């Protein structure tokens, strides 16, 4: 396991703030003799620092796939599988897969297929809770489309949530990518949407707990 580069500054700042709180609690204990308060604050500082470091963890995983496989782009829970109209790029019917990422999940995002990036678009927006039906069209989000070697295109979208306030992405139009390569990170709670061809064979169901690079979403025909 390693720490994601997006977390270095936040972890450093958090260490300074939490260190100051711990130092203050120690001097308060020396002055008042309130051991219970010192223990409570110390426990809180340690738990908070652990959770912050854990949020930016990157587990060591090997992505094994066949060329037509669609691999999971994020850790989380499958909360939506439905046929819907995709109006930003395809403007037709697609299968939408939504994966909700809680603050306890790994928050790095990975390419679901290999191919060429045909479309990248960042949208500023609101910060509705990630499971809100309008979050995919009104929240801050970034949309990507990758064209598989077969010519099939897959759209995947990072969506900020009520807590997530920064979407990080590293893709550009025209870039060649491989399945399982990292393409972005969303800080503190969020959602990933996939829009797949209607005839896509799916390997997941609503409620499934999925893992990036390890869970197979489906297969392109």
Spatial separation of the C-alpha atoms in residues 92 and 148, rounded to whole Å: 19
Using CA atoms, how far residue 170 sits from 78, 151, 178, in Å, is 24, 23, 13
Angle at 28 between CA 22 and CA 31, to 5 degrees: 145
Residue pair 134/101 in contact (Cβ under 8 Å)? The answer is no
Give the tokens for residue 184: 């972005």
Task: For residue 5, give the H/E element and its range.
Answer: none
Given 25, 114, 135, 190, which residue is catalytic? 190
Verify whether residue 190 is a known catalytic residue: yes
Catalytic residues: 190
């Amino acid at each position: 396991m390693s720490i994601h580069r997006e977390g270095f500054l936040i972890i450093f700042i958090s260490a300074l703030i939490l260190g100051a709180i711990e130092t203050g609690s120690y001097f308060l204990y020396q002055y008042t003799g309130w051991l219970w308060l010192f223990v409570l604050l110390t426990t809180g500082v340690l738990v908070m620092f652990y959770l912050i470091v854990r949020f930016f963890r990157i587990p060591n995983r090997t992505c094994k796939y066949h060329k037509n496989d669609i691999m999971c782009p994020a850790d989380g829970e499958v909360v939506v599988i439905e046929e819907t109209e995709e109006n930003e790029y395809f403007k037709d019917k697609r299968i939408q897969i939504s994966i909700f990422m809680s603050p306890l999940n790994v928050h790095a995002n990975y390419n679901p297929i290999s191919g060429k990036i045909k479309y990248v678009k960042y949208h500023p927006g609101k910060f509705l809770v990630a499971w809100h039906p309008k979050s995919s069209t009104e929240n801050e989000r970034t949309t990507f489309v990758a064209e598989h070697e077969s010519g099939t295109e897959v759209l995947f979208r990072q969506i900020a949530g009520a807590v997530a306030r920064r979407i990080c992405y590293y893709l550009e139009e025209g870039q060649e990518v491989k399945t399982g390569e990292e393409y972005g990170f969303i800080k503190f709670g969020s959602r990933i949407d996939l829009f797949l061809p209607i005839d896509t064979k799916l390997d997941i169901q609503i409620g499934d707990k999925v893992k990036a690079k390890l869970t197979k979403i489906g297969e392109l025909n």
